[in-house]
Amino acid sequence: MCTLDRRRSFEDGSVVGPSRAELLRTAADYRVELTAYVFMPDHLHGLIIGLADDSDLLKCMDMFRQRTGFAHKQQYAQRLWQEGYDDRFLRAEEDTLNVTAYIVANPIRAGLCSDIREYPYLGSSRYTVQELIDAIALLPARLKGSRSSERVPLA
């Protein structure tokens, strides 16, 4: 999900904090797991998984955008999100761990940090950052989304 006009709204903890809290609250309301999420300066990446047969991932994200957009407009007198967002559903053959690794490594690829433990705006509703690192540390760099054949320094 991109911010309106790709504004760098998520560089400030005062914006990320309430947005993260709302993301976690909305995910719980809609019974979805936030396997991994990263607030980049001008967009949000996330991998969400339904926890129940009636989990509605699209409604969850729509409600998250509505809630955060309303709160942001009240506080800053401007819209937070651009219209629409890119979504895709993982197929059974796709490896969730690889997608998680790609999401978590985004701040490294963007040059925002050299170790994901340095980046304050990522997490999971299920795993600690250290558990994410441990789970993906052995994946080759090509699966983490690196542009080179070298390993991405997650730890």
- Per-residue pLDDT tens over the stretch 33-75: 999 999 999 999 999 999 999 899 999 999 999 999 999 999 9
Residues 6+ apart with CB under 8 A from 53: none
CATH classification of the domain holding 94 = 3.30.70.1290
155 found inside a domain: no
Distance of CA 105 to the CA centre of its chain: 11
In this structure, how many other beta carbons lie within 10 angstroms of the beta carbon of residue 65?
19
> Is 58 within a domain?
yes
pLDDT interval class at 91 (50, 70, 90) = confident
The answer to whether residue 154 is domain-embedded is no
- Residue 121: pLDDT above 50? yes
Write down the pLDDT at residue 100.
Answer: 86
Q: Which domain holds residue 63?
A: 4-144
Q: Does 105 map to a domain? A: yes
**Would 45 be classed as within a structural domain?**
yes
Q: What region does 77 belong to: left with phi over 0, alpha with psi -120 to 50, or beta?
A: left
- 3-state class (DSSP) for residue 37: strand
Number of domains in the chain: 1
In a domain, 69, yes or no: yes
Radius of gyration in angstroms for the set of CA atoms belonging to the chain, rounded to a whole number: 15
Task: Tell me the average pLDDT across 19-36.
Answer: 96
> Does residue 77 form part of some domain?
yes
Mean pLDDT rounded to a whole number for the chain: 86
Cβ–Cβ < 8 Å for 139, 132 = no
What is the layout of strands, in order, in the sheet containing 122-123?
Answer: 43-50, 32-40, 122-123
Distance CA 132, CA 31 (A): 21
Is the Cα dihedral 89, 107, 124, 15 positive or negative? negative
pLDDT for 119? 94
Q: Tell me if 128 is assigned to some domain.
A: yes
Where does the pLDDT of residue 140 fall: very low under 50, low under 70, confident under 90, or very high at 90 and above? low
CB 3 within 8 A of CB 81: yes
